[in-house]
Chains A and B, each alone.
Chain A
Amino acid sequence: MTYIGKSVKRVEDVRFLTGKGRYTDDIKLPGMTHAYIIRSPYAHAKIKSIDTSAAEAMDGVVAVFTGKDVAGVNGVPCGWQVNFKNGDTMKEPPHPLLVADVVKHVGDNVAMVIAESKEIAKDAAELVDIDYEELDAVADAAKAVKDGAPLVHPDAPKNMCFDWELGNPKEEVDAAMESAHHITKLEFINQRVIPNAIEPRAAIGHYESAGDKHTLYTTSQNPHLTRLLMSAFVLGIPEHRVRVVAPDVGGGFGSKIFHYAEEALVTWASRQLNRPVKWTAERSESFMTDAHGRDHVSTAEMGFDAEGNVVGLRVKTLANLGAYLSTFAPCVPTWLHGTLLQGLYTTPKINVDVTGVFTHTTPVDAYRGAGRPEATYLLERLMDTAALEMKMDPAELRLKNFIPAFDGVEQEGYMTQVALQYDSGNYHKVLERALEMVGYEDFRKEQAAARENGKLLGIGFSTYIEACGIAPSAVVGALGARAGLYEVGQVRVQPTGKVSVYTGAHSHGQGHETTFAQVVADKLGIALDDVEIVHGDSESVAFGMGTYGSRSLAVGGSAIVKSIEKIIEKGTKIAAHKLEAAEGDIEFSEGKFTVKGTDKSIGFGDVALTAYVPHDYPAGLEPGLDFSSFYDPANFTYPFGAHIAVVEVDKDTGKVSLKRFIAVDDVGNVINPMIVDGQIHGGLAQGIGQAMFEGAIYDEDGQLINGSYMDYTMPRADDLPSFEIDRTVTPCPHNPLGVKGAGEAGAIGSTPAVVNAVMDALSPFGIKDIEMPLTPERVWRAMQ
């Protein structure tokens, strides 16, 4: 292997670092107009009137559209259905492109001003006179389900979207809990966070009357899915008349999976005006309108026997979904959360109960980890708290309860109580390695000595599992997905032996152009430079499901491998003909087809040329060397790991300093260790950000009161230690590369490790829980 397993430098970085990237906002089309969206300043209000005449009269204004103008266009659909326990379909209220009657969150789209320049559009927007009648609002999920709370949608009583249950029957779990020697109970909020991709969302609609073609350039993680949702469900345009291009995209973290109203609006408006229409979000719009993440209120109880074995787990969660259902919103707190509550433990009885709640806030959907960080937070906070309460060591308590190692080949996958079957795992190994790296025994001595000197040192653990490589279509279909979640990979060998690869996965920071090329170059025995990875354009890539859920390599990479196998199979036929040997005697390695046991061979490039210039060619074989494959995974993949945080808390100010962070992750086989390290680092920063700094705050009127970088704290480099990371390798048994996915691991494992460490540091004060983020003020108040 020349490339696989090597830290090849990212080929895309040359263009990113030299300013040659091409992002949606960089695209300028002839005759392009600029849109500005007027957004609701209120969380809940009736639009009494809108007067657009002054704006329309302004020089340079092309059009002003309001809710009335789009009355004939459908709203934005939801891509996942979760039913009520009684079988009723979830409440799925309309999500209009522009609101005509009642706005339901701060930032809700009310009108769109289109002008010759962005500045004119913005100035004209100030002349649009909108008269609102403010109504009572509710931002908090716990308050929204109470009797008498303001209703977000009149046809969703108690603001309930669905209620949902998974696991063992409640009575069985209740009985297990009753038999428990000790029960640890925590009630906590997994606070709402804002994704903050470095590139704000943008979209350009370009209708060309010649050909009746609609092109949408957009900041999307899955252009084909956006095309499907927008063409078939919103605008009703035949799919072959719509092209969606997601060029370079600057980060998504989930927030760019979803089909947003602005994408449909610019496409629709471009057709009305017969001119391209561009919209680019300002940062404050990103804060208000990018789908937010997390926002769960949970009560969790874990029961233990006298020896510390877990006997049961009972979880009740209220999930804030915001004002409308974003594309995958119902799936996140249910099938991506409830199904992960087995964790790494042999818990015999588990019951999870989730209620999805509408509030007058920005829609909530998948954000790095999506449901799995919430599940992990809950389990791992319970574990450390239980250890403290039962006076046991938190690492020992975990090791005692871990599922024994299984490789998914010799030993069967582990069947959980919550619907999933884990593929392969060796959980003791990651924690033991992490303990070794932190020097656990010495640390406890150091901690005791520090306490005597009045210093508050703490250590916190988190051992996690996640379900990635999303996902087997038949499984997710049964769970309510309204799409298949396979991936498409096309490998086109050019006549000269150069290779173009078309993948339905989408890179917005993950480095696919490098990782995928490493796989292709090695499998075909050619140079890395001879491989081009093409993604993000529905016109060049046959189809695709995009990138999220740490799926790109596990699912998208596997599709490419399947196509490479077809290339080699056909190449073998051509080589056998040219070498005058039987097909069965040909072997392919390092870019050469060789007759076994001889020195007779033909290079990959010659075979490619023969395929396109088939003068001397096997009878009955089609010319060309170009194959496409759909790969539908057999199961999710299940990466896992152990994270340890070491913190010091300042007694006088409450400031938490993160001293060390150890992460041992098992993401299966690794193609590019440097890129995986980068993914882990980024994930850790985001997970630590949630623990210590981040959190969207709504006031009682439903106003987002920290919607700017002056008020919303992001983690900075100087808040973080140099991460100490390592890996173990337990290959995935069911995909050809043996990979599991690394995009979300860091964000899933790190958050509870930090909070556990702070609670450990504060254990002399008898403090059991502090609500995230652990700001100096909150920690200081808890100590007083």
Chain B
Amino acid sequence: MKLKGQHNFKATPAILWEKLMDPDTLARVTPGVSRLERKGDDQFEAIADVKLGPVKGSFTGELSVLEKKEPESFTLNIQQKSKIGNVSADVHIHLKPLSDEETEMSFDGKAKLSGLLARTGQRVLSGVANTLTKQFFSAMEEEVGNNPT
């Protein structure tokens, strides 16, 4: 499954970068994530609850930040396991300054699903992914102190 999204923030890349690298902020803004703990420099343990149409599952696993180029881009590697199937994804995140106070955040990646998740959820998946993306950007807006648009 392809993952893609973009949003413009009234903030500098440096501010956004700082938020993205902070596990507490990320746990707050990422839909479904209930806990995010730092395990190493660029490694986090995550617990998430996700509902995909008829399929609901509690995921545990690791997030790793790779290919860091502060403050413009990094790759997030996601490995999550659950009783309803596993998710593995690589997501490339870009921060592009549009002006002194505006930055475009975009992401682009691919997720692989297996198990029950793959068999029963796919039909509703892209819709769910869009909703989650919107929730993420709108929560991020609040974090950087803007009114959600």
CB nearest neighbor in A for B120: A708
B119 touches A126 (CB 8 A): no
A287 touches B119 (CB 8 A): yes
Known contacts A41-B85, A134-B88; A106 and B114 CB within 8 A of each other: yes
> Per-position contact with A for B116-132: 1 when CB-CB < 8 Å, else 0?
10111011000000000
B contact residues around A699 at 8 Å (CB): 118, 122
> Per-position contact with A for B73-104: 1 when CB-CB < 8 Å, else 0?
00000000001011010000000000000000
B contact residues around A708 at 8 Å (CB): 119-120
CB nearest neighbor in B for A126: B83
Q: Is A419 an interface residue (CB 8 A)?
A: no
A701→B118 CA distance, assembly (Å): 10
CB nearest neighbor in B for A107: B119
A41 touches B115 (CB 8 A): yes
A contact residues around B113 at 8 Å (CB): 703
Known contacts A41-B85, A41-B86; A706 and B122 CB within 8 A of each other: yes
A705 touches B83 (CB 8 A): no
**A524-563 interface with B by 8 A CB criterion:** none
CB nearest neighbor in B for A125: B83
Q: Is B112 an interface residue (CB 8 A)?
A: yes
Known contacts A41-B86, A701-B112; A710 and B120 CB within 8 A of each other: yes
A711 touches B120 (CB 8 A): yes
Q: Is B40 an interface residue (CB 8 A)?
A: no
A contact residues around B115 at 8 Å (CB): 41
B119 touches A42 (CB 8 A): no
Q: Is B54 an interface residue (CB 8 A)?
A: yes
Interface centre among B112, B115, B118, B120 (most CB of A within 10 A): B118
B contact residues around A707 at 8 Å (CB): 119-120
CB nearest neighbor in A for B119: A707
CB nearest neighbor in B for A39: B115
B122 touches A705 (CB 8 A): yes
**A678-733 interface with B by 8 A CB criterion:** 699, 701, 703-708, 710-711
B contact residues around A706 at 8 Å (CB): 119, 122-123
B123 touches A710 (CB 8 A): yes
Query: Shortest Cβ distance from B87 into chain A, in angstroms?
Result: 11
B114 touches A42 (CB 8 A): yes
Q: Is A284 an interface residue (CB 8 A)?
A: yes
Query: Shortest Cβ distance from B127 into chain A, in angstroms?
Result: 14
A288→B120 CA distance, assembly (Å): 12
B119 touches A705 (CB 8 A): yes
B contact residues around A106 at 8 Å (CB): 114, 118-119
A705 touches B118 (CB 8 A): yes
A535→B62 CA distance, assembly (Å): 56
Interface size on A, residues (CB 8 A): 18
B contact residues around A284 at 8 Å (CB): 116, 119-120
Interface centre among B83, B113, B120 (most CB of A within 10 A): B120
A703→B112 CA distance, assembly (Å): 9
A711→B55 CA distance, assembly (Å): 13
B118 touches A704 (CB 8 A): yes
Query: Shortest Cβ distance from A54 into chain B, in angstroms?
Result: 14
Query: Shortest Cβ distance from A337 into chain B, in angstroms?
Result: 29
Known contacts A126-B83, A134-B88, A710-B54; A41 and B114 CB within 8 A of each other: yes
**A23-45 interface with B by 8 A CB criterion:** 41-42
A120→B67 CA distance, assembly (Å): 45
A549→B118 CA distance, assembly (Å): 34
**A82-123 interface with B by 8 A CB criterion:** 106
A contact residues around B123 at 8 Å (CB): 706, 710-711
CB nearest neighbor in B for A701: B112
A708→B88 CA distance, assembly (Å): 22
A288→B88 CA distance, assembly (Å): 21
B83 touches A703 (CB 8 A): no
CB nearest neighbor in A for B115: A41
A699→B113 CA distance, assembly (Å): 10
CB nearest neighbor in B for A711: B123
A703 touches B120 (CB 8 A): no
A406→B112 CA distance, assembly (Å): 58
A703 touches B114 (CB 8 A): yes
Query: Shortest Cβ distance from B59 into chain A, in angstroms?
Result: 14
B contact residues around A288 at 8 Å (CB): 119
Query: Shortest Cβ distance from A265 into chain B, in angstroms?
Result: 21
A contact residues around B54 at 8 Å (CB): 710
Known contacts A41-B85, A41-B86, A134-B88; A711 and B122 CB within 8 A of each other: yes
Give 8 nearest A-B pairs by CB, closest first. Answer: A707-B119, A703-B118, A41-B115, A41-B114, A705-B122, A708-B120, A701-B112, A42-B114
Q: List 7 A-B contacts (CB under 8 A).
A: A42-B114, A284-B119, A287-B119, A703-B113, A705-B119, A710-B53, A711-B123
Given A284-B116, A704-B118, A711-B120, 16 new contacts (CB under 8 A): A106-B118, A106-B119, A287-B119, A288-B119, A699-B122, A703-B114, A703-B118, A705-B118, A707-B119, A708-B120, A710-B53, A710-B54, A710-B120, A711-B119, A711-B122, A711-B123
